[in-house]
Amino acid sequence: MTASASARRQRRNALLFLAPAAGVLALIYLGPMLFAFHASFTAWIFTSPGSQDIYVGLENYSDVLISPELWSAVRVTLIYAFVSICCGLTLGTIFALLLDTQFYARSFFRSIMIIPMVITPSVIGIFWKLLYEEDSGVFNTALRGLGLPGFSWLDLAMALPSIILMDVWQTTPFFMLVILAGLQALDRNTIDAAKVDGATSLQLFRYITLPHLVPYMLIATSFRAIAAMGDFDKIWLLTGGGPGDRTTTITIFAYKTGFSAFDIGRTTAIACIFVVIVLVASSPLLLRLFRSALEDRG
């Protein structure tokens, strides 16, 4: 009797403690999502009054889904996220391995490495524009100094690689930090035992270190994937999505549709499609986190 009463009280308390956070999440996420879903079925143009009451069924979706712009944006988003993550992961692992060895001023280097990660992305976008300038940009000045011809970093062919390079510069430290933490959790005894057995350092890495790091890499990759797909500020300020639509990611595409054409119906349809893409792409992480959260007990 008392036991069940206290259990009931505990459950009530649990809900009370959760309620404020749940309220804010519902207000800012659930509300707008439902609203967006509803609006995506209307012919709503923000600048023409009354158009929000015209229902067009799935027309926004079919318009958007057959438009080449959407698929170009999906392609750009996926290439951007995929290539940037591959490079960031590789470089991050290399830096982490280097930083894991004991040497003087190690924490200084670690501090330096953190800096790109936290610099305001809009500042990064502006400054990389300066680095990429064709006539007087830092990269081309350096290339000419080496006797090489400079080139246009932000033209049709190079714009996408250039935004990826910028993102790799910014996010490599994130991978490095996570992998460094993984390395520090590695059991030194195993390594010592393998060394005694005569393993080469390449074998050590391949058969002991790398398998140990895989979960860390997976988690870092998944987190970065979600964030990279939504990246906006850096790209917007560096290229504005151009030239043409070469660097127009889904977020930039939706933003342009929403805030220059004011086509609410279409924008919300793009947003809904985007949410589905992100949720599908990140569902392995979602399931993994959810399962581990439910399984372990405190």
Residues 120-179 that bind other proteins (CB under 8 A): 120-124, 126-128, 130-131, 136, 138, 141-142, 169, 172, 174, 177-178
Shortest CB 260 distance to other proteins, Å = 12
Which stretches does DSSP call E strand in 255-295? none
Query: Segment contacting other proteins (CB under 8 A): 11-19, 78-86, 188-196, 202-210?
Result: 11-19
Dist CA 81 CA 86 (whole Å): 9
**In 10 A of CB 190, how many CB atoms?**
13
How many Cα atoms are found within 13 Å in the side-chain-facing hemisphere of 219?
Answer: 13
Residue list 265-284, contact with other proteins (CB under 8 A): 267-268, 271-272, 274-275, 278-279, 282
- Residue 19's SS3 state is helix
Residue list 235-254, contact with other proteins (CB under 8 A): 236-237, 250-251, 254
Query: Segment contacting other proteins (CB under 8 A): 19-27, 64-72, 98-106, 203-211?
Result: 19-27
Query: Rule CB under 8 A: is residue 233 a binding residue for other proteins?
Result: yes
- Residue 20 vs 147, nearer CB to other proteins: 20
- Residue 203's SS3 state is helix
Shortest CB 195 distance to other proteins, Å = 26
DSSP 243: S
Count interface residues toward other proteins (CB under 8 A): 93
Query: Rule CB under 8 A: is residue 22 a binding residue for other proteins?
Result: yes
Query: Quick one: which of 65, 54, 27, 69 has its CA closest to 276?
Result: 65
Instruction: Give residues with Cβ within 8 angstroms of 91, minimum separation 6.
Output: 168, 172, 175, 176
The residue behind tokens 């399962």 is 291
Residue list 193-222, contact with other proteins (CB under 8 A): 215-216, 219-220
Residue list 33-92, contact with other proteins (CB under 8 A): 33, 35-36, 39, 46, 91
Query: Rule CB under 8 A: is residue 96 a binding residue for other proteins?
Result: no
Query: Rule CB under 8 A: is residue 292 a binding residue for other proteins?
Result: yes
In angstroms and rounded to an integer, the radius of gyration of the C-alpha atoms of the chain is 24
User: Which residue type sits at 262?
Assistant: F
